[in-house]
Chains A and B, each alone.
Chain A
Amino acid sequence: MSNSRHLWHFHGGLKLPGNKTISTSTPIAQALLPKRLVVPVQQHIGEAGQLQVKVGESVLKGQILAQASSYVSAPIHAPSSGKIIEIDELPVPHPSGLNALSIVIETDGEDKWTELSPLHHPNTKSPAELRQLIRRAGIVGLGGATFPTAVKVNTGPQANIDTLIMNGAECEPSISCDDMLMRSYAREVVSGCELIQYIVSAKHCLIAVEDNKPEAIAAIHEVINEKSLHTIEVVAIPTIYPTGGEKQLIKVLTQKEVPSDGFPSDIGVLVQNVGTAVAIHKAIYLGQPLISRIITVTGEGVLQPQNMEALIGTPISELIEQSGGYHKDAAKLIMGGPMMGFTLQTDHLPITKACNCLLVENTPEQTPEAMPCIRCGACATVCPAQLLPQQLYWHASSKNFDLVQDYHLFDCIECGCCNHVCPSQIPLVQYYRFAKTEIWNQERDRIKSDHARIRHDFRQERLDREKKERDEKLRKKKELLAKKKLAEAAAKESDGSVAEVDPKKAAIEAAMKRVKDKKAAQKIDKEDAAASASKNTNEKITHK
């Protein structure tokens, strides 16, 4: 069944040694409950959550620690029961090496769950209600991108999802967590698929697995047959890096290309990682939030490579220790795979929802110095985004940021294929990251300076306006004053004798006159009022 399907190719790619079997010979090991769990508040793409707990508070396993703060956000839950002993900026596994707000839980060893509300018949709920449950469970894409899943499965009313693709390709060498997950949790994977399929009302679902994982394919195939599902199919796809990239996988399965400025849903496709499917299954049927994940601990620098199910927040050092510890030559600790992972400076870091693999490498052989680019074009031959990496490099290194964008820099997925085949050993991907960051910075600066300019313009306008108003006021005052003077002068002229009168007397006389005038005015007012009143009554009468 899985072989009959027609598949397509994406451009380029590499056949890389898998190095996966070293970590798949033993079943998934359960990591020990650590004494301390360090849970970063932000473990997803989007905005960080809002803290719901304080230092000193006791928490139960699965209790919410931080609530989603906006639409593109995800809550964080306590991975185990215990007491919160610290909330502070602490080191997290991130390429920047910067600290981030984290909650430290001292576990009590009881691992006591908070009250869960499992759902036994999800098909009685609406897709929106299920999305809410996924959102509350803090589920994010477990393939590595960690985009909030509730947002991703909310494809909108006009999207017509034809194909749901479950990504079990796992194309990066060394990583085997999805392989082991599919072997051990095939039932949950398929159950998760059914749930997502229901939520996005996808016509059919393809579970794509690279053909170097026959056990996983067989396990899923068996579940599908057993449940006799007709709209879910497991597809063995050729093992070519980076076939697990979302756009590449869609191309292989459907021949369609996701538009450069669009989303898979634009072409009727939704891609989810198989690990995410299991998390969704757990969230709906068991009511459990995402508090653990499967991690591949591997590489020649680890003595007993294996896959482990560990709580979020478990220190990396403990996972390595439980995997036999380091080889004496261990020199490089990578989070993720060897092609796209990033190195960590220390193992005193917690694992997060994004952490799919810990790869420890031994002292590398001396890499030769980079030579100049000889424009051989080997990079362009392997580029899955169909770019011209050598031209990108050329313009990125000369900081010609307009031209790099002409050459579609932002379509680069940083898969590292070009880097891998370059005979001049040029760290190409580094140049592209540099160029992207520079362009982002320039853009930010531009926006900032635009803002500043607009603010300045506004201020200038306000000042001008105020000055005008002040001038106007002044002018009016002056006019008024001039009029008054004119009037006074006229008054003086009219009775010249007054001028000789004693000023005191004149003042008294003036005051008297004012009082008289006022009285006269009051009298007139009263008469007016009386007149109008009588007029009103008359009117009323006439009206009646």
Chain B
Amino acid sequence: MQFKTASSPHIAQHNSVQSVMYKVLLAMIPGTIAMIVWFGWGVLVNIILASVVALSCEALMLTLRKRPLKPYLFDGSALLTAALLALALPQLAPWWLTLIGTAFAIIVAKHLYGGLGFNPFNPAMVGYVVVIISFPKEMTHWVPPLLEDYTLLTFTETVRVIFLGELPLTYGWDAITMATPLDTIKTQLGLELSINEIETHKSYGSMFGSVGGFGWEWVNGLFLATGLYLCIKGIIDWRIPAGVIAAILILSNLFALYDYASFTPPTFHLFSGGIMLAAFFIATDPVTAATTTKGRWLYGAGIGVFIYIIRTWGSYPDGIAFAVILMNMAAPLLDYYTMPRAFGHRWNEFPHHHLGDKDEE
């Protein structure tokens, strides 16, 4: 009797890229729902818009690159990029801003580098950096959280603002958008106010919640919870978020202890802006992160350090995208120098010379 030949191992296994991506996407749902509740329909409109653009660009690029559509278009990676970028954009960002950011992320940051698995930089963060550098004004279209003196726009009103730029008759831009808590703190600290004065200010003090930004603390709390679940399930590596959070905690504690009035407290850092989304969902993108155990600690910590630096002294309201991209650049180096000790080897016998050789070639 004749048989087929194949290479070992011969046990079929059922893990797949697709299932990893979709599990991460599912884990983002609770935090996203919280964002919709607190910040309105703009969040959902952005996600849908970005997803459509991302899938179209993905299909376009796969066709141009003569790659099979089916396995790649629905592997979940393009949707994940779209969702991460959409959550990072202001809720009332104009449609073309989302389109440009997403298209750049998929076409340039992902496919021009070789597509899934080959991109050195996190595509969503590249898309974000492109729009925040190019369109700083539109990037301020943040909606204030659901507060007593504000009313969220209806779904139709939101769609009209995003796609037609038409504001509801009774409101101006100032009435429906507002600086984020992070931004407010930075601006007011610049005006020599103390943290305490800012948080209790009569006109904007209400945007600060009990631990972070009002509303933001819920969003971050939910992302933290589902992120931890992914870590426990082994879908993402816990060391990266642990590194991010540890670095921010240590730095913010040190500076807050040094000067309580002009440095924001650690809890505020962790529960405002997109810290938990960044720590658990953005920084853990395996393609662009470090892969060794120690490398992941360092990679996460590096992101945390850069976020704190950019938030505290930089000119952008939040530094997540820049921090992630800077550490993306360092990832290959981190991997090389944190190679684990192989079985039966001593600690001190890593050959590092070839890296130098390569540079010279």
Partner-B contacts on A (CB < 8 A) = 10-11, 16, 97, 173, 247, 251, 257-260, 262, 317, 326, 330-334, 336, 338-347, 359, 361, 364-365, 367-369, 371-378, 380, 384-388, 390-391, 402-403, 406-408, 411, 414, 416, 419-425, 427, 429-430, 433
Contact = CB atoms under 8 A, between A and B. Distances in A.
A251 B220 CA distance: 44
B11 A420 contact: yes
Contact of B342 (A387, A416, A425): A387
10 contacts: A262-B344, A331-B3, A334-B8, A338-B10, A346-B1, A369-B68, A373-B117, A375-B117, A406-B351, A411-B344
Contact of B339 (A331, A388, A427, A429): A388
Interface in B6-21: 6-13, 15-17, 19-20
B257 to A, nearest CB: 36
A262 to B, nearest CB: 8
Interface string B4-42: 111111111101110110000000000000000000000
Given A260-B345, A408-B342, A345 B291 contact: no
Contacts of B115: 372
B11 A345 contact: no
A377 B2 CA distance: 38
Given A247-B343, A258-B344, A375-B117, A427 B7 contact: yes
B11 A339 contact: yes
B71 interface: yes
A25 to B, nearest CB: 22
A462 B153 CA distance: 96
B237 interface: yes
Contact of A173 (B11, B116, B342): B11
B12 A364 contact: yes
B117 A372 contact: yes
A390 B117 CA distance: 11
Nearest to A16: B11
Determine chain A's interface SS by DSSP, over half rule.
Answer: loop
A332 B6 contact: yes
Contacts of B15: 378, 421-423
B116 A372 contact: yes
Name which of B2, B8, B345 has the most chain A CB atoms within 10 A of its CB: B8
B60 to A, nearest CB: 19
B110 to A, nearest CB: 11
A423 B116 CA distance: 13
Contacts of A247: 343-344
A359 B341 CA distance: 36
B287 interface: yes
Given A333-B3, A346-B1, A391-B291, A385 B343 contact: yes
Which among B11, B12, B335 has the highest number of chain A CB atoms within 10 Å?
B11
B116 A371 contact: yes
Nearest to B70: A369
Given A380-B340, A385-B342, A421-B15, A374 B286 contact: yes
A340 B344 contact: no
Interface in B265-298: 286-287, 289, 291-293
A343 B5 contact: yes
Given A260-B344, A411-B343, 7 more contacts: A334-B10, A371-B117, A374-B287, A375-B286, A402-B357, A416-B8, A433-B7
A341 B10 contact: yes
Nearest to A402: B354
A346 B345 contact: no
A384 B343 contact: yes
A331 B214 CA distance: 63
B12 A260 contact: no
A433 B7 CA distance: 10
Nearest to B331: A375
B342 A386 contact: yes
B342 A420 contact: no
B118 interface: yes
A369 B16 CA distance: 11
A422 B14 CA distance: 9
Interface string B158-181: 000000000000000000000000
Most B CB contacts (10 A, CB to CB) among A262, A336, A386, A427 go to: A386
Interface string B79-106: 0000000000000000000000000000
A374 B12 contact: no
A342 B116 contact: no
A257 B71 CA distance: 42
Given A375-B287, A388-B340, A423-B17, A332 B117 contact: no
B138 interface: no
A345 B9 contact: no
B246 to A, nearest CB: 20
Contacts of B286: 374-377
A420 B10 contact: no
A331 B286 CA distance: 37
Q: Which A-B residue pairs are the 6 nearest by beta carbons? A: A372-B117, A416-B9, A260-B344, A376-B286, A343-B5, A408-B342
Contacts of A339: 8-11
A240 B215 CA distance: 47
A260 B237 CA distance: 29
B7 A430 contact: yes
B5 A345 contact: yes
Nearest to B75: A371
A315 to B, nearest CB: 12
Contacts of B10: 332, 334, 338-339, 341, 343, 359, 361
A425 B286 CA distance: 16
